Amino acid sequence: MASGAVALVTGAGRGIGRAIALRLARDGYNVALNDIRRDNGLENVRREIRGMGREVIECIADVSKESQVKGMVDSAVKELGGLDVMVANAGICVAKPFMKSTLKEWDQSFDVNGKGVFLCYKYAAERMIEQGRGGRIIGACSQAGKQGADVLTIYCATKFVVRSLTQTTALKPHNITINAYAPGIVDTAMLSKLKEDLKSFVSTPILDALDTGTPEQIAALVSYLASKEAQFVTGEPEPTFSFELK
């Protein structure tokens, strides 16, 4: 990693995005932190990163809005001097079976998890190609993007999109790699909400019987995918953390 390299992490206020932002800062990156809300932990993450001696900015933006994604990428480039790593992490999860799922939930989920990742990949790639110094684009897939789960109909569909988008976005001539991480069950606020949402659909507490991973384990994978060692890893939705029943 060149000194002064810049990473932009979406959904960085909490959970996996927070852990990724902190890890990349520890790895030496200056970091642009995105979230849709300012009051969602972003300020604390910013303070921690500043304490590590890195440059850090906040970019409040909704990743499902094209002009906001473009603005966020422009700010990172302008204020931090470029863009070397884009982590399209922000996402939402609707935990419902097919017949309970609504069109509104479908649209909202695809806006953030599908369109949001597409826009982040696209505007990051555009800037990285312009810069001509290569780059790393990393997206949030999931085990739900590899295997259907009948209580996660819409969520699975959105993550299948991230998986195929990542596999089909080849930018090898530009020395830009595009990969995605595919976690199983990770201990974040999203998991707490998912357990709550599923209570009315799942009679046994199946989720309590699952072994959970930590956001820091996912951040370690992202750190690798962003590194020089991962230069020849691209189009991979397979780097995986699969969690087994205890």
Q: Which of 96, 115, 123, 159 is catalytic?
A: 159
Q: Which residue has the CB atom at the shortest distance from ligand ADP?
A: 15
Closest contact distance (angstroms) between CB of 237 and ligand ADP is 16
| x-marked contacts with ligand ADP along 70-99 as a string, rule CB under 6 A | --------------------xxx-------
Q: Does 13 bind ligand ADP (CB under 6 A)?
A: yes
| Residues in 112-131 at the binding interface with ligand ADP, rule: CB under 6 A | 112, 116
| Catalytic (active site) residue 159 | yes
The span from the CA of 11 to the CA of 69, in Å, is 12
Query: Angle at the Cα of 41 (from 39 to 42), degrees rounded to 5?
Result: 85
Interface positions, 185-214, toward ligand ADP (CB under 6 A): 186, 188-190
Its sign, for the CA torsion 116, 6, 32, 179, is: positive
* From candidates 5, 10, 86, 239, binder to ligand ADP by CB under 6 A: 10
154 binds ligand ADP (CB under 6 A): no
Alpha-carbon distance values, 177 to 5, 190, 212 (Å): 16, 28, 28
145 touching ligand ADP, by CB under 6 A:
no
Amino acid at 221: L
Residues annotated as catalytic are 155, 159
